[in-house]
A and B are shown apart, each in its own frame.
Chain A
Amino acid sequence: YINIYSGHTNNWAVLVCTSRFWFNYRHVANTLSVYRSVKRLGIPDSHIVLMLADDMACNHRNPKPATVFSHKNMELNVYGDDVEVDYRGYEVTVENFLRILTGRLPPSTPRSKRLLSDDRSNILIYLTGHGGNGFLKFQDSEEISNVELADAFEQMWQKRRYNELLFIIDTCQGASMYERFYSPNLMALASSQVGEDSLSHQPDLAIGVHLMDRYTFYLLEFLEDIHPASKTNMNDLFKVCPKSQCVSTPGHRTDLFLRDPGSVLITDFFGSVRKVELTMETINLTDPIEQLESGELQKEMHTYADQLPVSEIIHQKPKQKDWHPPDGFILGLWTLILLVFFQTYGVKHLKHIF
């Protein structure tokens, strides 16, 4: 039985730009381009976690303030007035990124900063910045390694936080970041192989920076042709930006994915498509709706981790502490003391105590 339908009911996107400084304008433009496509295809802001490490639109050096362009000659402004950045500036750290993925956030974190996915969510994760063989640099001061990322995805799998996950990375030597994945239902794309650099696309002569990276530029061009009803599948996505255009060799990984990539639609990850079936017939529901016993409700084998512990936030009851027997250490310590005492003073003193 080969599953060709994904069986997902909701879509999430986590889009991360990890570089700061004005000369890394293109990474912010990359992320905002993917954000724009994803939003256009239907994923709402409440289901997008956008992390931008620096503010290019309001950078003092931007000759066109409040804009981030992704095409030269300023054809396409991807910043606009409806961009919601969830993690900005110094909040984009490795720790925050991993906490978003695994859901281990402090109770005070607002909803917009959480990835509230469940076991029927398809998640798109897009990372861009400066990377190397096995790591991605965050904010010029720290790195995330491919091992950490793979472990984070495994945590997500074990906590049933995704149905299928598409991981796209546009950095130098990007393929090294998906080498260590070992959880099921992961598909990964990267802009360059190990040992290759991902190159930037075009400089803008008025702004004075490179506006986009090549891979994401051609990805954006590809995505502009997708609309919510498109039936384009992943095999077309793998063909985006061949070596003649990208100079580097894009790579992909599908061995962990249970479905055949040819049957995976682009909109499974990039859009939020509701499967609507129109019917003219009436459907008979069972009549009446049966009430189940309260004990039978616990049919699930796994319990969900409490991702938004509302009850705790509201009630703030102090938890009862269970009684624990004294530690073996303390027992041992007392035994030692007694032994030493008796050895020093002799057993005959025992009678003075008891």
Chain B
Amino acid sequence: MGLLSDPNRRRALISLLTRLNTPICIVCYMAGVAWFMGLAFEPFTLRTYMSENAMGSTMVEERFPAGERALATGREFSAHKKRTGGMPVEWLMKTMQAKGLEVFTQRFSRTLPFPDENKERYMVRGTNVYGILRAPRAPRTEALVLSAPCSPGDNNNQAVGLLLGLAEYFRNQIYWAKDIIFLVNEHDLIGMQAWLEGYHHTNTTGMDWSPLQGRGGSIQAALSLELSSDIITSLDLVLEGLNGQLPNLDLANLFYAFCQKIGVLCTIQGKLQRNDWDSVSGYSHAVQTMMLMVMKQASGRPWGDHGLFLRYHIEAATIKGVNSFRQYKTDATTIGRLLEGMYRKLNNLLERLHQSYFFYLMPSLSHFVSIGYYMPAFGLLAVILLLRALDLWVQLSTPPQRTEDGVTDIEPVRGTHFKTVADLLSLLTPLVISHLTGVALYMLPIRFQEMAVEHFPVSETEAVVLTAIAVYTAGLALPHNTHRLLSGEGTEQGWRVLKLVAVLYLAVLLGCTALINFSLGFILALTLVPVAAFVTPHVPKVLSAFILVILSPACTLLFSVFFFQELQEMPISFQDGWLLFLSVISQGILDHSLYGSLVYPLITLLVYPCWLLFWNILFWN
């Protein structure tokens, strides 16, 4: 007989499962965390390599000459920007036309759901200006995009100057097989979202924009440039986009290849590469780089203007120029040459970038870990949930040994029997109420901000954030009382069924999240899986309640904020950290309504109700 159909063997297996459940869970958890930490260890990673044949071994001598002229253009741009107090549309249009591009503009306007205190804007109105360089001999079927944001103050002037300089140089060449679109977007991400929506004729976020008059074909790749000083010491590559989506690894490989060829210092997450992987400090450096990427990816926000392109299956990255205290400085001509080389290679593309990985983690710019290597870390954590579910299933199936009444029910109970409607209700009630609380957490903060502002002396942003925190905390009090109203004391079987449902729900939720955004799924799994595993009504209440609150999504976010600041070597005090935490919540809500980020709805509508179910189970009796 087979292993599972032989009743003796099955009983032995089941008893093994129930006896060793907790030790196996603990081992799996440690193994999952150890696997994750081991990902940054260099022998376990792979060197990056160019996968796309069309971008392969060909090399071109870059000849961009006009770095100084580009910087002068940048200074002119800055002067005009100061004069108009925003985007100097006429000057930009005139300059781009003088360089031989087809110039178009797009107006957009958007009222944010509540004022954004980080960027100090509420009713946003702006104009995007873009010029199209038509390929001299090719049909207008494909395009590449080079963009620079028009930022207030003294930021990114050199980026726009370099963009215009490159436009002029590119216009004089005849070897372009794709149209190149030079875009200067206002109000960074909001302008970029308006432009992309206009380009692709979609309207997903309810923004108001004028249709685009000129188009260039389907966009194959895009680069966003951020350069705020004349001389730089290193170039930083930013990959993380909206909802944790990453561009194809070939784009990072291309950047790295050119950094090596031209001899510019290149970083990722602002950290340089180190060669001493076998020393403790070398390893911790790699871990820090990888953790920064994990944190940034988990937040689900686009970390550069490129982040919004990824949703349209356009591979995009942001290149930031950094000026720090190093001896070796790079001038604008060299950066121009690097970009020229990258664009010439992208010009050779015949299809969209698809040969390399879309899901990866990078402990350094020259090494990567692909999804096949990092997913087992999450898998080990998910296995704990499945083991717990099996354990509960077995417990529910064995006949209950009632010693008080003396009447034992020997009839084997296969699964759960809802003998009365009350049983079913006692299961459904926590579910429904948790989810309603989640919906309240999702909708109330924005809806009732005016009411809150009337009654309390706070600004709208603070009102929204504080309402969110209030609903979250209220949720702790509300659900666990209801089932008492319904059926008095909760039954032993009742909480087991609820826990089984909750554990499976959490497993599915985390699994789906990890597939799309591994970092978010893993971080949530790290904190929620222990909660799911150990909570029962019989553990010590006060201690468990404390632990549960510490491991809840909101506290995870608070700790992540402090951890993130530590990783970036800018540790902050508790007050600053708390304020940062509040602004992170408000940014999360804004990202959701402005760009369609899914982290906020995921946490409020799905993760928080799931956590409330466990809270419910803790207070079952």
- A144 contacts partner chain B, Cβ-Cβ < 8 Å: no
Inter-chain contacts of A21 with B (CB < 8 A): 54, 350
Task: Let me know if A62 and B175 touch, CB within 8 A.
Answer: yes
Interchain CA distance A210-B56 in the complex, whole Å: 11
Task: Let me know if A23 and B174 touch, CB within 8 A.
Answer: no
* Apart from the given pairs A62-B175, A206-B61, A208-B344, 9 other A-B contacts in the complex at a CB distance below 8 Å: A23-B53, A58-B137, A61-B177, A205-B59, A205-B61, A206-B60, A208-B58, A208-B59, A209-B58
Task: Let me know if B175 and A203 touch, CB within 8 A.
Answer: no
- Please report whether the interface of chain B is mostly helix, strand, loop or mixed according to DSSP: loop
Interface residue tally of chain A, by bracket?
10 to 19
Q: A22-B54, A23-B54, A61-B177 are in contact. Are A203 and B59 (CB under 8 A)?
A: yes
Task: Let me know if A23 and B61 touch, CB within 8 A.
Answer: no
- A63 contacts partner chain B, Cβ-Cβ < 8 Å: yes
Interchain CA distance A63-B347 in the complex, whole Å: 12
- A60 contacts partner chain B, Cβ-Cβ < 8 Å: yes
Inter-chain contacts of B348 with A (CB < 8 A): 22-23, 61, 208
Task: Let me know if A63 and B350 touch, CB within 8 A.
Answer: no
- Per-position contact with A for B52-87: 1 when CB-CB < 8 Å, else 0? 011011111100000000000000000000000000
From 209 to 265 in chain A, residues with beta carbon under 8 angstroms from any chain B beta carbon are 209-210
Interchain CA distance A203-B56 in the complex, whole Å: 12
Inter-chain contacts of B56 with A (CB < 8 A): 23
Q: Which residues of A contact B (CB under 8 A)?
A: 21-23, 58-63, 65, 203, 205-206, 208-210
Q: Which residue of the partner chain A has the closest CB to B341?
A: A208
Task: Let me know if B61 and A63 touch, CB within 8 A.
Answer: no
Task: Let me know if B60 and A205 touch, CB within 8 A.
Answer: yes
Instruction: Kindly name the residue among A21, A22, A58, A61 whose own CB sees the greatest number of chain B CB atoms within 10 A.
Output: A61
Inter-chain contacts of B209 with A (CB < 8 A): none
Task: Let me know if A61 and B58 touch, CB within 8 A.
Answer: no
Inter-chain contacts of B54 with A (CB < 8 A): 21-23
Inter-chain contacts of A210 with B (CB < 8 A): 57-58
**Shortest distance between the CB of B26 and any CB in chain A (Å):** 52
Task: Let me know if B58 and A23 touch, CB within 8 A.
Answer: yes
**Shortest distance between the CB of B189 and any CB in chain A (Å):** 33
Interchain CA distance A61-B138 in the complex, whole Å: 9
**Shortest distance between the CB of A20 and any CB in chain B (Å):** 10
- B173 contacts partner chain A, Cβ-Cβ < 8 Å: yes
Task: Let me know if B58 and A60 touch, CB within 8 A.
Answer: no
Interchain CA distance A208-B56 in the complex, whole Å: 11
Interchain CA distance A65-B350 in the complex, whole Å: 19
15 example contacts (A-B, Cβ-Cβ < 8 A) are as follows A21-B350, A23-B54, A23-B56, A60-B135, A60-B136, A60-B138, A60-B175, A60-B177, A61-B176, A61-B348, A62-B175, A65-B174, A203-B59, A208-B59, A208-B348
Inter-chain contacts of B53 with A (CB < 8 A): 23
**Shortest distance between the CB of B30 and any CB in chain A (Å):** 47
Interchain CA distance A337-B56 in the complex, whole Å: 70
Inter-chain contacts of B174 with A (CB < 8 A): 63, 65
Task: Let me know if A63 and B59 touch, CB within 8 A.
Answer: no
Inter-chain contacts of A208 with B (CB < 8 A): 58-60, 175, 344, 348
Interchain CA distance A336-B288 in the complex, whole Å: 86
Ranked nearest first, the 6 interchain pairs of A and B with the lowest CB-CB distance are A60-B177, A205-B61, A208-B60, A60-B138, A63-B175, A61-B177
Q: Which residue of the partner chain A has the closest CB to B61?
A: A205
Inter-chain contacts of A58 with B (CB < 8 A): 137
- Per-position contact with A for B31-69: 1 when CB-CB < 8 Å, else 0? 000000000000000000000011011111100000000
Contact of B173 among A59, A63, A203, A209 (CB under 8 A): A63
Q: Which residue of the partner chain A has the closest CB to B347?
A: A61
Q: Which residue of the partner chain A has the closest CB to B59?
A: A203
**Shortest distance between the CB of B491 and any CB in chain A (Å):** 67
Instruction: Kindly name the residue among B57, B173, B175 whose own CB sees the greatest number of chain A CB atoms within 10 A.
Output: B175
Interchain CA distance A203-B261 in the complex, whole Å: 15
Q: Which residue of the partner chain A has the closest CB to B139?
A: A60
Q: Which residue of the partner chain B has the closest CB to A58?
A: B137
Interchain CA distance A341-B35 in the complex, whole Å: 80
Task: Let me know if B60 and A60 touch, CB within 8 A.
Answer: no
Interchain CA distance A200-B53 in the complex, whole Å: 15
Interchain CA distance A205-B61 in the complex, whole Å: 5
